[in-house]
Every structure is written in C-alpha cells, then in structure tokens.
Amino acid sequence: MRFAIQINEGPYTHQASDTAYRFAKAALEKGHEIFRVFFYHDGVNNGTRYTVPPQDDRNLQKLWSELAESHKLDLVVCIAAAQRRGILDANEAKRQGKDGDNIAPGFRISGLGQLIEAGIESDRMVVFGD
Amino acid sequence: MTDENTKKKFLYLNRKAPFGTIYALESLEVVLIGAAFEQDVSLAFIDDGVFQLMNNQDATAAGMKNFSKIYRALGDYEVRKLYVEKESLDLRGLTVGDLMPVTYEDEDENYEEKPSIRVVDRAEMAKLIAGHDVILSF
C-alpha cells in the first residue's frame, strides 16, 4: 500500500513525530511505500538540524534524516508554516535576508500543494498530531 | 482539469477553537490551496471546532488576526459543504443561530444563494467521515 504521512507536532513536546517515525519504519519494513511525509504546523520543527537533545535521548531529526537517506523518503516541510517558525533552507535564507539556514539533511521546503498531492496520490493519508 | 472519476473526497476535520492555537488558521490555509486541485471538498466542525464558525468574531483585544471572514468566502473557492456536529453545538450551549451565515451561489439554479452550513448529528458525522477518501484532521 502507498501511504502519505502528515505530522502536525514538533519533536519532544508531543510524541506525534515519534509515533509517525515508528509507523513509517514499520510500513517500509513490511514492503509498503511512503509517498511523502509532510511536516505541518509545529511539525516543521522536526526539520531543523540545530536540535541537540541529551545524549541518552533519541534524536528525532537524525532518525528522520537517516530514514530518508536509507529509503529515499520525501520529507517535505511546509513553507508557510516553516517561515512562521524560523525553518529555512539556503534559498529561503537568502531570499529573506537571513544570516543562515537550518534545514536538516533529507528535508526539503515546499508548498501546501505537496500535501494535497500526497492525499491524491496515496491509498491512505495518516495524520499524526495532537 | 481533473476527471470526475479520479476526484477524491477530501474532508477537513476541524476540532480546535479559532484562537488559542494556530490549527484553525493553518487548516484554512490548506483548504484554500487545496481548492486549486479540484477535488471534492468538505469541511467538518466538531468539538471546540464549532467555535470557528461563531458569528461576529472580534480578535482585536487579543491582538490576533481575525480570519473568520475567510469561511464566508469559501463558496468562491467551490467549497460548499460545511458540516457542523449537533452534539458539539449542544454541549457548548450553541445553536446554528450563533453561527455566521455561510452561503454559495448555485450556478445550476440561477446563482441562487444557498447555505453551506449543515448541522448533522454524531451518527451522521461518523458516516460522513467513513465516506471520505482523505481526512485531514486539525
């Protein structure tokens, strides 16, 4: 089956991203396809490479980046939500006149159309949030 | 153009009050972008989500943007089905009379203005949710 995943909460305050990660990993291990993971609302905060959690805790950003690399996952951060919350890639940083970017490896910034497209192209849309 | 047969039924499930969190506003942003994809779109309002449709909202004192006018413009985006759960209204002491009038122009009937809001009970809401292909929950 082909899944689309939407994540609506940031890391650590909420468990939504952890649960979504475990769902994605389990689905891939069972041979399913993940068409796209779309990060919305505070979920965009999963996509900053500047998080430094304690050594004995999981590093969600890293887990997502690694899963993206090993399975060629499409991790999309909503641009409108990202701009509100200070998540920038190199292009956006330049365009907005900011002195740096913070997007994590394997993540890309794009529009809400990518969420709708994921809904159209997938058999199931699974939303993880509050 | 999207073929009628390949259209999917999208349901935006709004569960949160308009202020206090950003979910309602960012849900509307998806609805507006999604309208360009020519899918079959419905909105549902349950729990505190029913407050999103309250008439005469004024967010000035809270320093927030009053985005409630966007709901009234949804008809222009071909979004014509707004389902409100009756039990959620009842629990909050609200009636449909407390909600803003949201209408659309029916091009098949001489552009007559028709109400977009329909109050349904919990059992109907459950059926409605089950009958959709893509449910985006906010």
Residue to substitute from B39, B67, B134, B135, interface A, most A β-carbons within 10 A: B134
Per-residue pLDDT tens digits for B57-82: 999 999 999 999 999 999 999 999 99
Domain that holds residue A103: 2-128
Q: Is the pLDDT of residue B3 over 80?
A: no
Per-residue pLDDT tens digits for A54-84: 999 999 999 999 999 999 999 999 999 999 9
Query: What pLDDT, on the 0 to 100 scale, is given for residue B6?
Result: 74
Q: Which domains does chain B have, with CATH numbers?
A: 4-137 (3.40.1260.10)
DSSP letter for A58, please: -
Q: How far is CA B132 from the centre of its chain?
A: 15
Per-residue pLDDT tens digits for A27-51: 999 999 999 999 999 999 999 999 9
d(CA B101, CA B117): 8
Our CA-based measurement puts residue A118 at a distance from the nearest CA of chain B, in whole angstroms, of: 10
Q: Where residue A61 sits, what CATH number does that domain have? A: 3.40.1260.10
Whole-number average pLDDT of chain B? 95
Per-residue pLDDT tens digits for B6-38: 799 999 999 999 999 999 999 999 999 999 999
Our CA-based measurement puts residue A71 at a distance from the nearest CA of chain B, in whole angstroms, of: 24
Q: Is the pLDDT of residue B113 over 80?
A: yes
Q: Which residues of A touch B10 (CB under 8 A)?
A: 116, 119
CB pairs under 8 A between A and B: 46
Q: Cβ of B33 and A111 within 8 Å?
A: yes
Q: In chain B, pLDDT over 90 holds for what percent of residues?
A: 96
Q: Which residues of B13-35 are buried (b: 16+ CB within 10 A; e: fewer)?
A: bbbbbbbeebbbbbbbbbbebbb
Has A78 been annotated as catalytic?
A: yes
Structure tokens at B27: 């849900």
Query: What pLDDT, on the 0 to 100 scale, is given for residue A114?
Result: 98
Structure tokens at A109: 């910034």
Q: Which residues of B touch A40 (CB under 8 A)?
A: 26, 30
If pLDDT is split at 50, 70 and 90, which confidence band does A117 have? very high
Total domains in chain A come to 1
Is B89:B119 a contact under the CB 8 Å cutoff? yes
Query: What pLDDT, on the 0 to 100 scale, is given for residue A126?
Result: 98
If pLDDT is split at 50, 70 and 90, which confidence band does A130 have? confident
Q: ipTM of the assembly? A: 0.92
Question: Which whole number is the average pLDDT over A76-104?
Answer: 97
User: How many CB atoms lie under 10 A from the CB of residue A7?
Assistant: 30
d(CA B14, CA B44): 6
Q: Is the pLDDT of residue B1 over 60?
A: no
